[in-house]
Amino acid sequence: MRKMIALSVLSVFAVGLLQAVAQEEQKNKEPIAAPTPAAMAIANIRALGGHVLEIAQDDNRLEVAYHLTDGKVTGEHLAPLRYLKQSLIHLNLRGTAVTDADLTQLSDLTALTRLHLEKTKTTDAGLAHLQGLANLEYLNLYGTLVTDAGLKHLAGMKKLKKLYIWESQVSIAGVIEFKKTQPSTQIIPDLVVEKAKAEARAKALAEAQKLAEVAKKQSAEAKKLAEAEQKAAEASLKVAEEAQKTAAGEAKKAAEAQKKVDAAIKAAEAVKKAAEAAKKKADDAKTEADEAKKKAEAAKKAADEAAKKAEEAQKDVSRNT
């Protein structure tokens, strides 16, 4: 039903355009050049809901986009593109319902440099219709059903710079094989590089895990050693405290002993002083005794002399009587 409506719209639009040209000719009495096939194609594309834009103000090359079109985009929507094959360089069919068969309409678009087919139902069979796009530089196959076999259809595209294959069915083996013929094409994501990165990350993770295990083991050993050292330190502290306690007791005993020694020394000094005083007294007494003895001897001598004199006197008396 939609196909019939689209064809009816195209027919009506074309007829209306031709009638407008005829009316303008009658009005001006001069023939007006009929619309070119390219102009007709652009009008048809816009009538079907597509967008046609010039690349730049001074660049009349075209960009056509159907990704914002409501409804199903079919081969009829793509048919007018054949009249733009000299100027159409960008085509966006992202998220549309185009089929592999619809893509046959693109086979003559040799000026095309960018093609968006992401999120479509494109398969390997569809890519076969793109082999003639020698100037294609960008191709987006994100989220399609394309496999390794489909990439073989792109092997001759020497100008292809970027190829998006994210969430497609392409494998690492397919990427490796494709790069043999298309080494200059950047594949996004590059499964080979991603695999190498994944392997490098896995290796780094394994090494990090190994280092973590070694560190964990060393940490456990260090903790065990620290606990042993702490236990030894606690034991040493306990011994030190006991030693300090013993030393304090010994110091107390030593202080008491020193106090006794000091008292003994003081007593000895007092005894010595008393002894010295007694010796002095004894010496003084001896001196006095020696003086007394000397005096006694002198007195005895005097007494003996007196007795002798008395005896001689007695004898003299006796003789005289």
More confident residue, 56 or 122: 122
Give percent of the chain above pLDDT 90. Answer: 45
Give pLDDT, residue 316. Answer: 84
Q: CB under 8 Å to 21, separation ≥6 — which residues?
A: 32, 34, 35
Half-sphere exposure of 250 (CA within 13 A, CB side): 6
Residue 255 Cα to chain centre, angstroms = 66
Q: Assign domain 36-189 one CATH number from 2.30.40.10, 3.30.70.360, 3.40.50.300, 3.80.10.10.
A: 3.80.10.10
Mean pLDDT of 290-299: 90
User: Which range (20-29, 104-113, 167-176) has the least confidence?
Assistant: 20-29
91, 107 contact by CB (below 8 A): no
- Edge-first strand order for the sheet with 114-116 is 51-56, 59-65, 88-92, 114-116, 138-140, 162-164, 186-188
* Residue showing tokens 């010796």: 279
Q: Which sign does the torsion angle of CA 70, 74, 80, 84 carry?
A: positive
Half-sphere exposure of 93 (CA within 13 A, CB side): 29
Residue 119 has pLDDT above 50, yes or no: yes
DSSP 37: H
**In angstroms, rounded to a whole number, what is the distance separating the alpha carbons of residues 53 and 294?**
164
Q: Which of 102, 93, 147, 160 is nearest to 120 (CA)?
A: 93
Give pLDDT, residue 264. Answer: 87
User: Which range (25-29, 70-74, 86-90, 164-168) has the least confidence?
Assistant: 25-29
| b/e burial code for range 64-74 (CB count within 10 A of at least 16 → b) | bbbbebeeebb
51-56/114-116 β-pairing:
unpaired
Alpha helix stretches (DSSP H) within 134-190: 148-151, 172-181
- Whether omega for the bond prior to residue 189 falls within 30 degrees of 0, making it cis, is yes
Instruction: Specify the amino acid at residue 146.
Output: V
How is 269-283 classified by DSSP, letter by letter? HHHHHHHHHHHHHHH
Q: From start to end of the chain, where are the E strands?
A: 51-56, 59-65, 88-92, 114-116, 138-140, 162-164, 186-188
Residue 11 has pLDDT above 50, yes or no: no
54, 26 contact by CB (below 8 A): no
Q: Which of 155, 94, 89 is nearest to 122 (CA)?
A: 94
Mean pLDDT of 13-30: 50
Please tell me the pTM assigned to this model: 0.58
Q: Longest Cα pair distance anywhere in the chain, in angstroms?
A: 234
DSSP 34: P
pLDDT tens across 68-118, in order? 876 688 889 999 999 999 999 999 999 999 999 999 999 999 999 999 999
Give the model's confidence band at 215: pLDDT under 50 very low, under 70 low, under 90 confident, else very high: confident
46, 14 contact by CB (below 8 A): no
**In angstroms, rounded to a whole number, what is the distance separating the alpha carbons of residues 82 and 75?**
11
More confident residue, 175 or 16: 175
Angle at 114 between CA 109 and CA 118, to 5 degrees: 110
Tokens linked to 231: 């236990």
